[in-house]
Amino acid sequence: MKQLVKIVRRELLIILKRPVYILASVGVLIVNAVFYITFMKDGLPHDLPIGLVDEDHSSTSRTFARELDGTQLGKVVYYDDIHLAREHMETGRITSFIVIPKGFNADIQAFRQPHISYYVNSLYFVGGALAYKDILTMVNLTNGAVQRQVLRLKGMNEREIMGRIQPIVLDQHQIGNPAVNYGVYLNGVLLPGVLEMIVILITIYAVGSELKYGTSKHLLKTAGGSVEMALLGKLLPYNIIFTVLGIALELLLFHWLKYPLKGHIGWMFLDILLLVSASEALGLFIVELFPVLRLAISVGAIISVLGFSLAGFSLPVEAMPPYVQGFSAVFPLRHYYLFHVQETIWGSGFAGWWQESVHLLLFLFLPFTLIGRLGHAYKYQDYERN
Amino acid sequence: MKGISYLGTWIRDWYKIFVNELRLIFSDSGVIVIFFVGGLLYPVLYNLIYMNGTVDEMDVAVVDNSGGAFSRRFIRKVDATRECNILMFAASMEEAKEMMQKGLVHGIIYIPEDFDARLVRGEQGIISTYADMSSFLYYKCLTMGASLTMLDEMHEIQMERYLASGMDAQAAWQAVQPVLSDESMPYNKPFSYTIFFISAALLLVIQQTMFYGSSLLAGTLREQNRSFASMSKGLQGLGIGRVLLGRGTAYFSIYMVTGTLIALLIPWLFRLPQRGEWTDIMVLLVFFVIDCIFFTFTWSSLITRRETVFVLFLSISPICLFLTGFSWPQTAIPPFWQYVGYIFPSTFGCRAFINLNTAGGSLSLVAPEIKAMTIQTVIYYVLSSISIFIENKVIARKDKIESLKDKALELRGIDPEEARRLIAGD
């Protein structure tokens, strides 16, 4: 116990002496949280620039433009010729553009079915998809408006007209994110992912630095020769920092920003604690495997960046090739995400996520498999340092 | 004559520094791993992960309480879309939701009891859809599948009614669709995740690997107390231009090779769209790589120890990716973050690459981005010169203090080497 206190005190001195530890944990998380939360603060983009080439200049085409401009998603940008509009779409300045041909109004009145053409740049994913949806709706509204005029002339009442022009109405619900908030969806997993990255890197950095700066013998001596004791004392202060960061992050997301949470925030605390512990174990395992700081940190960097993709919250894992699907299980963030889905969307409690917590707990066994290797490296410092 | 000899010295110094930097790079396994393995591994890995790129035939559960001809036709049509696959009919919403919670289905279509009756009466029938929001692609699939089916059904029902009221087919068709529309999504028709993600990420890999690798090197040099700036000592502090350009040429020659592999070979290897002229892309690459070099030189002056670049700056990579506007549209990015984006070459480089390579624009289209990168290059050149200048001064002062200390020790009759060893505790 006395040894443990000694090591913890030694570690606290290191943290105080080298600002990188606080900067790379607290600082990095704050910067990322501020970035992603303010970046997507609108929840869903609005006023996307949609180009309009109006070759008709009629009341109908003007009404169309006004109504498109009035939708929440779209904002009309007028163009005189198609080439410039196309150029601006290619360069991403507008998401899409619509061409209303000459004679549009006259053709409608004479039932000659004029063509509206629209072009969407789907390389810019969210903007393209939303603009596409907006244009599709507007085109159908236009069709509806024309039919309505005709049906009115025939003397139908409004109720009958609605049944005619829109026989089927879709009533769309989004389970777990009713407002279709992109920030809720992304930040709920992205920010824990950043925390995972921080934990993996700092664990590797802290443990590996003892080797690099040749201080591991001193650490072992303080721990009375026990590498387990040395690591316990060494990682304890970081554990406290990471735990506080994790809890603060969940409070920020679900309490302060009021992200939708069907279940209980207490279980989200459990989720993030498991994520932190699993990531710490993974980091420790990596540095045990490669007891050379710069190699271990490169491996940790590659793994934690891949973790974002393989968590499966952007492109779902089942859409990836089979051999990649199995690989996703080695990333703690994947299990955090599955737990998160059960608790935030379904409020399932233990029954929904117990398997994921077991998976995360399994990571804790990893470091024990190679602890002897690190002990050897700590004792003899027989790996290259630089 | 003096001018010529100056030029001669300049070139000789420049060459010496260039070769020395190459030697440093190739004798550091960590840097090699990042430059070559990292630079080429990431694009390959991402291509493998995002091989398919779209969610097709997403499993959907149906709760059909109406069970009539209209509802059955609607369900059949949803099943026929590319987006959705009707996996099962659930007896109740509870059952369907349970299936969704277990991850077996990612969408639910609920058809109420009165659906067919209402349609038969000529009223509006209402269909409810429930999307699993654990991934936005699920939401997109269900929305697309259901909306396209709804539109198709709408036209079909309208046709039937007009025909029933005695119109001929031609007139009914004209009444149903007074306006026709042609859609064109020339670059990424299926909204493939692969095409949009990889197009944005490729050039970012160049910037980030260069930054991390070069910072590793700078950190190592500073750890050993021989910053690159001190190389120019022999030049009496006049050689900043030579140092920057000599080092820069080393990175340029490496990155024009790996950059070409990343920007031309990888898309070809994985059959991504390559609509641009390869010559245009090479021109873009030249501007982008030079910009990245001075960006790296400027910011790596903050790195004082080898590994800190990763612990401090790794999370910058996804931030840079979002700043390119590849996902959240550029126009919706808050102004403050748009300005922050101006710091990074990737903000302009990735956009230009998307426009050139994937949208197939020509070089003149990306002129604004190239102009921005040129301005960045000039600014970063000046900034990195200043940082070298300052570092030189600091090192010179440190050296001076050290030598003064040694002198003081010598005056007291102590050997400075001995003293250093004693202080280090050996």
- Please report the pLDDT score of residue B105 as a whole number: 95
Cβ–Cβ < 8 Å for A312, B132: no
Look at A202 and B311 and tell me if their CB atoms are within 8 Å. yes
Q: Is B274 on the interface with A (CB under 8 A)?
A: no
- Please report the pLDDT score of residue B235 as a whole number: 52
- The CA angle B370-B372-B376, to the nearest 5 degrees, is 115
- The CA angle A338-A287-A325, to the nearest 5 degrees, is 30
- Please report the pLDDT score of residue B327 as a whole number: 84
Better-predicted residue by pLDDT, B106 or B28 = B106
Minimum mean pLDDT range among A95-109, A149-163, B241-255: A149-163
The pLDDT of A72-84, averaged and rounded, is 92
pLDDT of residue B293 exceeding 50, the answer is yes
pLDDT over 70 percentage in chain A: 99
Place of tokens 């603009």: A131
Distance between CA atoms of residues A186 and A320, nearest Å:
19
Better-predicted residue by pLDDT, B230 or A62 = A62
- Please report the pLDDT score of residue A148 as a whole number: 87
- Please report the pLDDT score of residue B117 as a whole number: 94
Place of tokens 């009341």: A59
- Please report the pLDDT score of residue B352 as a whole number: 92
- Please report the pLDDT score of residue B297 as a whole number: 93
Q: How many angstroms away from the CA of A163 is the closest CA of chain B?
A: 4
Look at A169 and B124 and tell me if their CB atoms are within 8 Å. yes
Confidence label for B128 from pLDDT (cuts 50, 70 and 90)? very high
The pLDDT of A357-386, averaged and rounded, is 89
Question: SS3 of B185, please?
Answer: coil
Question: Of all helices (H) and strands (E), which one includes residue B69?
Answer: helix B69-80
- Please report the pLDDT score of residue A246 as a whole number: 97
The DSSP code for A50 is: E
Cβ–Cβ < 8 Å for B292, B69: no
Express each pLDDT in A197-244 by its tens digit.
999 999 999 999 999 888 999 999 888 888 999 999 999 999 999 999
Q: DSSP for B104-158, please give it.
A: S-SEEEEE-TTHHHHHHTTS-EEEEEEEETTSHHHHHHHHHHHHHHHHHHHHHHH
What are the residue boundaries of the structural domains of chain A, listed by start?
2-40+185-380, 48-165
Look at B326 and A198 and tell me if their CB atoms are within 8 Å. no
Express each pLDDT in A190-210 by its tens digit.
999 999 999 999 999 999 999
Q: Is A263 on the interface with B (CB under 8 A)?
A: no
Within its chain, how far is the Cα of A236 from the centroid?
29
Burial of A277 (C-beta count, 10 Å sphere; 0-12/13-18/19+): buried
Name the average pLDDT for chain B: 87
Question: SS3 of B171, please?
Answer: helix
- Please report the pLDDT score of residue B359 as a whole number: 79
pLDDT of residue B233 exceeding 70, the answer is no
Domains and CATH numbers, chain B: 2-50+192-402 (no CATH), 58-176 (3.40.1710.10)
pLDDT of residue A317 exceeding 60, the answer is yes
Q: What is the pTM of this model?
A: 0.90
Residues of A in contact with B332 (CB under 8 A): 42, 45-48, 127
Confidence label for B418 from pLDDT (cuts 50, 70 and 90)? low
Q: What are B415's two structure tokens?
A: 């050997």
Task: List beta partners, residue A153.
Answer: none
pLDDT of residue B426 exceeding 50, the answer is no
Residue in B158, B305, B315 nearest the CB of A28: B315
Residue of B141, B311, B340, B357 best to disrupt the A interface, most CBs of A under 10 A: B311
Distance between CA atoms of residues B230 and B388, nearest Å:
9
Q: Is B60 on the interface with A (CB under 8 A)?
A: no
Residue in B41, B137, B325 nearest the CB of A92: B325
- Please report the pLDDT score of residue B223 as a whole number: 80
Q: How many angstroms away from the CA of B398 is the closest CA of chain A?
A: 21
- B64-73, B192-201, B266-275, range with greatest mean pLDDT: B64-73
Residues of A in contact with B358 (CB under 8 A): 123
Express each pLDDT in A8-64 by its tens digit.
999 999 999 888 999 999 999 999 999 999 998 888 888 899 999 999 999 889 999
pLDDT of residue B368 exceeding 50, the answer is yes
Q: Is B35 on the interface with A (CB under 8 A)?
A: no
- Please report the pLDDT score of residue B127 as a whole number: 96
Look at B30 and A304 and tell me if their CB atoms are within 8 Å. no
- Please report the pLDDT score of residue B234 as a whole number: 52
Distance between CA atoms of residues B316 and A286, nearest Å:
22
Residues 151-170 of A with CB under 8 A from B: 159-160, 162-170
Look at B50 and A114 and tell me if their CB atoms are within 8 Å. no
Distance between CA atoms of residues A60 and A83, nearest Å:
23
Question: SS3 of B360, please?
Answer: coil
The pLDDT of A143-160, averaged and rounded, is 85
Residues 231-250 of A with CB under 8 A from B: none
E strand spans, chain A: 48-54, 74-79, 96-100, 115-120, 168-175
Closest chain A residue to B142 measured between Cα atoms?
A172
Minimum mean pLDDT range among A10-14, A314-318, B29-33, B221-225: B221-225
Q: What is the number of H-type helices and E-type strands within chain B?
A: 18, 5
Q: What are the contacts of A338-343 at 24+ separation with CB within 8 A?
A: A339/A271, A339/A274, A340/A188, A340/A189, A340/A192, A340/A268, A340/A271, A341/A176, A341/B134, A342/A263, A342/B101, A343/A261, A343/A262, A343/A263, A343/A264, A343/A267, A343/A268, A343/A271
Express each pLDDT in B297-308 by its tens digit.
999 888 888 888
Express each pLDDT in B157-183 by its tens digit.
988 888 888 888 888 888 888 888 888
Closest chain A residue to B198 measured between Cα atoms?
A123
Residue in A20, A306, A320 nearest the CB of B52: A320
User: What superfamily does domain A48-165 belong to in CATH?
Assistant: abc type-2 transporter like domain (3.40.1710.10)
Minimum mean pLDDT range among B180-189, B273-282, B409-418: B409-418
Distance between CA atoms of residues A257 and B288, nearest Å:
39
Q: Is A191 on the interface with B (CB under 8 A)?
A: no
Q: How many angstroms away from the CA of A371 is the closest CA of chain B?
A: 23
Task: List beta partners, residue A4.
Answer: none
The pLDDT of B47-57, averaged and rounded, is 85
Minimum mean pLDDT range among A344-353, B92-101, B181-190, B200-209: B181-190
Q: Please give the ipTM for the structure prediction.
A: 0.89
Express each pLDDT in B1-22 by its tens digit.
566 788 888 888 888 889 988 9
Q: How many angstroms away from the CA of A320 is the closest CA of chain B?
A: 6
pLDDT of residue B371 exceeding 60, the answer is yes
Query: N- to C-terminal Cα distance for chain B?
Result: 56
| Cα–Cα distance list, B23 to A351, B17, B241, B346 (Å) | 59, 10, 20, 28
- Please report the pLDDT score of residue B423 as a whole number: 58
Residues of B in contact with A139 (CB under 8 A): 179, 181
